[in-house]
Amino acid sequence: MRRRAGLGAIQKHKLEQEKYKDKGNEIQENQLEQMTRQMEVFKVNLEEFATKHKNEIRKNPEFRRQFQEMCASIGVDPLSSGKGFWSVLGIGDFYYELAVQIVEVCLATNYKTGGLISLNELRTRLIKARGKGKQHQEITQDDLIRAAQKLKIFGSGFMVVPVGKGQYMVQSIPGELSMDHTAVLQQVTHSNQAFVSVGYLRRELGWEEGRAKKALDHMVDQGLAWLDLQNPSEKLYYFPSLFNACINSSN
């Protein structure tokens, strides 16, 4: 017959578990303290690096992107730091100024695009609007996305919509696009012809006719698409925001 453990053995086992637990907490605290010190050293080194390469960060877009990634790795956002050391770099000012210019271009083209503009066309228009005096500050797609993120304070009126691999559109009208609306934009982008139809969406996405028609009609109501009734076979839905992109891709 197996003998049951006595009270003394149970208490001894409990004390050993508590010791292991205390030792584990001590190790965790030491590791956390060590990581905190390392992060502080990293932050100081990052500030020294930023000071040394201030001009290159502002002028070189690739260097600027890598610097942003280094900042993100330790939880530092120089764009939201308007005071202290990071304000000296002026990086935040660069993106806020760019955000204002994004708003200006979007509002100026809304009557034609319906409130959607491809990121490539937006970049082209911004470069032209900024003029020769600011050519030393080249703007990239990454810069535009970071700047557009600052426009979230206006609610759903401004947002970046991914429509394919490395392809984006900027929405500048109130109201969020559903997954179906985004899928429609992706298909228009892939078609390289700036228009789709109910039949096209049924073939490419496997949607029922009602679903495709509902998504397209909503986009027409919102001014994002134009309806062409002259095609003899079926209605065509044109997206003026993608006219230039489709023309450039076909050339």
Condensed to tens digits (0 to 9), the pLDDT of residues 151-177 reads 776 665 678 888 877 788 888 877 677
Is the pLDDT assigned to residue 208 strictly greater than 90? yes
172 three-class SS: coil
239 and 224 Cβ atoms separated by less than 8 Å: yes
Buried b (16+ CB within 10 A) or exposed e, 95-129: beebbebbbebbeebbeebbbbbbbbbbbebbeee
Query: How many angstroms separate the CA atoms of 172 and 15, rounded?
Result: 64
Rg (CA), the chain: 28
Is the pLDDT assigned to residue 84 strictly greater than 50? no
Mean pLDDT score of the chain = 76
Q: Which comes out higher in pLDDT, residue 146 or 85?
A: 146
What is the side-by-side strand order in the sheet with 195-196?
195-196, 236-238, 226-228
Confidence (pLDDT) at 111: 77
Mean pLDDT for 58-67 is: 76
Most trustworthy range by pLDDT among 12-16, 45-49, 164-168, 209-213: 209-213
In order of 22, 195, 237, the CA distances from 201 in angstroms are 62, 11, 11
Confidence (pLDDT) at 6: 60
**CB within 8 Å of 33: residues ≥ 6 apart:** none
Mean pLDDT for 25-39 is: 68
7 three-class SS: helix
Confidence of residue 69 (pLDDT cuts 50, 70, 90): confident
Domains of the chain: 100-250 (1.10.10.10)
Confidence (pLDDT) at 203: 92
Residue where the block lists tokens 């003029």: 131
